Chain A
Amino acid sequence: GAVVSQHPSRVICKSGTSVKIECRSLDFQATTMFWYRQFPKQSLMLMATSNEGSKATYEQGVEKDKFLINHASLTLSTLTVTSAHPEDSSFYICSIGGTGGQPQHFGDGTRLSIL
């Protein structure tokens, strides 16, 4: 069964809107979650590492004030795309970090379309 639940699966909204994406760990407590972005016909790129109870770590080139990450509990991390623009249209995927070489579990992703 699913280990990670990501919601919503698809969002279409107007430019300037803020959009919140939720990522829930269903089977275990996740102190670390990862947020990736996948542009059409490209690979997944890590955006940020979400840490429970502390600030997220952002990758170079990712604006922390635009992509707000909140990891308030051991089962939930949220990504808020603030004042979204058409160039933010992408596929956003969260994952729960594995330990000891075990694979990460990915959510089903959120397809964000900004008009």
Chain B
Amino acid sequence: AQSVSQHNHHVILSEAASLELGCNYSYGGTVNLFWYVQYPGQHLQLLLKYFSGDPLVKGIKGFEAEFIKSKFSFNLRKPSVQWSDTAEYFCAVNPQGGRRALTFGSGTRLQVQP
């Protein structure tokens, strides 16, 4: 079975600071990788996804993530955060092939101070 680790549980940044959230997974096969965001009081929204091709993936709202296969990592980055980025961020994976449920990391709460 696969597992996902998010190392940062709570991150506090000032506006315009750069962001990098760590995500590592373990699985013996090929996986699809996702980052979801959950704004306060709202449902999960997809930020970006990777399933093949260019390991540097660009998502919505200026976010990007890089898949490093050798490190089993899929870290999320943003060069300059805004107050509106305050939310909970979840990394998730599922095995490629078929309809597979997602395995989520524990989440990282990002708090951006104005």
Contact = CB atoms under 8 A, between A and B. Distances in A.
B44 interface: yes
Interface in B63-102: 90, 96, 98-102
Interface in B1-54: 32, 34, 43-44, 46, 49, 51-52
A54 interface: no
Task: Give chain B's interface secondary structure class.
Answer: loop
Nearest to B91: A43
Given A43-B105, A44-B90, A97 B46 contact: no
Interface stretch (A67-75, A79-87, A99-107): A99-107
Given A44-B90, A107-B43, A108-B43, A101 B101 contact: no
A16 B99 CA distance: 34
A71 B36 CA distance: 26
A23 interface: no
A49 B43 contact: no
Interface in A30-72: 31-32, 34, 42-46, 49
Size category, A interface? 20 to 34
B46 A103 contact: yes
A101 B32 CA distance: 6
Contact of B44 (A31, A45, A93, A99): A93
SS of A interface (majority) = loop
Contacts of B52: 101
B99 to A, nearest CB: 3
Contacts of A101: 32, 49, 51-52, 96
Interface of B: 32, 34, 43-44, 46, 49, 51-52, 90, 96, 98-107
27 contacts: A32-B99, A34-B101, A34-B102, A42-B106, A43-B90, A43-B106, A43-B107, A44-B90, A44-B102, A45-B104, A46-B101, A46-B102, A46-B103, A93-B44, A95-B102, A97-B99, A97-B101, A98-B99, A99-B98, A100-B51, A101-B49, A101-B52, A102-B49, A103-B34, A106-B43, A106-B44, A109-B43
